[in-house]
Amino acid sequence: MIEKILPSRVAVAEAFSDLPDAVLLPGEEQLTRGFVAKRLGEFATTRHCARRALGSLGIAPVPILKGERGAPLWPQNTVGSLTHCIGYRAAAVAHRTDVLTVGIDAEGDAPLPGDVHSSIALVTEQRRERELRLKQPGINWDRLLFSAKEAVYKAWFPLTHRWLGFEEADIVLRLDGSFTAELLVSDLEPAAGTGVTEVPARFSGRWLAEGGLLLTAIVVGNHPAP
């Protein structure tokens, strides 16, 4: 499903329930100590999706461990993103030569609690949401905004290794299935050791509402130096 909003250079694997054949590889077991059965199944299935997606790129199965702030650690020369929600797990990966960063997110198509919405949405975003709701009332635009902000963070963090608050991205959702995110930060310096020379001040993404899910995706292409 999520491949509909991702370019072909990004490999995708997804599942709509926990998979009985999803297993953890060495190192991953330590990350799941204390997990209840539901959380364990979710974690294992999402990692299973990651290995399937990496396999599409010709990369052998490897443990997907966690780095700073819990970000997944991908094999050398690859980038990727993971997401999960009730009834959905997915991974999107690409070669670093093709893609600088990728961020995906999935949410159930249901309204956000009011207190959450007010804490994540800028005044300008709330105004645009009201306009969108009048034009297309069948979508929970508040939840879609939340998903887009999650995708923005997942695309941002591998480039900078810095936190990005909900209030630091101004997102414009569009009826045509696209969105843009203006980063409201003064520091766009990439993190040392990432090989990144520049962090974009704006991300562009796509969204999809289908099957009771809201999906968002951001892909920033890696343009070779002249």
Whether residue 192 sits in one domain with residue 111: yes
In a domain, 137, yes or no: yes
In a domain, 6, yes or no: no
Residues 6+ apart with CB under 8 A from 223: none
HEC profile of 135-154:
HCCCCCHHHHHHHHHHHHHH
In a domain, 84, yes or no: no
Whether residue 68 sits in one domain with residue 109: no
Whether residue 194 sits in one domain with residue 144: yes
In a domain, 164, yes or no: yes
Whether residue 201 sits in one domain with residue 112: yes
Whether residue 113 sits in one domain with residue 58: no
CATH of the domain at 179: 3.90.470
In a domain, 82, yes or no: no
In a domain, 151, yes or no: yes
Whether residue 111 sits in one domain with residue 54: no
Under a CB-based contact definition with an 8 Å cutoff, are residues 74 and 93 in contact? yes
Query: How many structural domains are present in the chain?
Result: 2
In a domain, 16, yes or no: yes
Residues 6+ apart with CB under 8 A from 137: none
Beta bridge partners of 180: 172, 204
CA atoms within 13 A on the CB side of 207: 30
The beta-strand segments (E) located in the chain are 11-15, 78-85, 88-95, 99-108, 169-173, 178-183, 202-210, 213-221
Whether residue 191 sits in one domain with residue 143: yes
- Phi and psi angles of residue 116, each rounded to the nearest 5 degrees, phi first: -70, -45
Residues 6+ apart with CB under 8 A from 21: 48
pTM of the model: 0.95
pLDDT by residue for the chain (226 residues), tens digit each? Answer: 999 999 999 999 999 999 999 999 999 999 999 999 999 999 999 999 999 999 999 999 999 999 999 999 999 999 999 999 999 999 999 999 999 999 999 999 999 987 899 999 999 999 999 999 999 999 999 999 999 999 999 999 999 999 999 999 999 999 999 999 999 999 999 998 888 888 999 999 999 999 999 999 999 998 644 3
Determine the structural domain holding residue 27 and report its residue range.
11-77
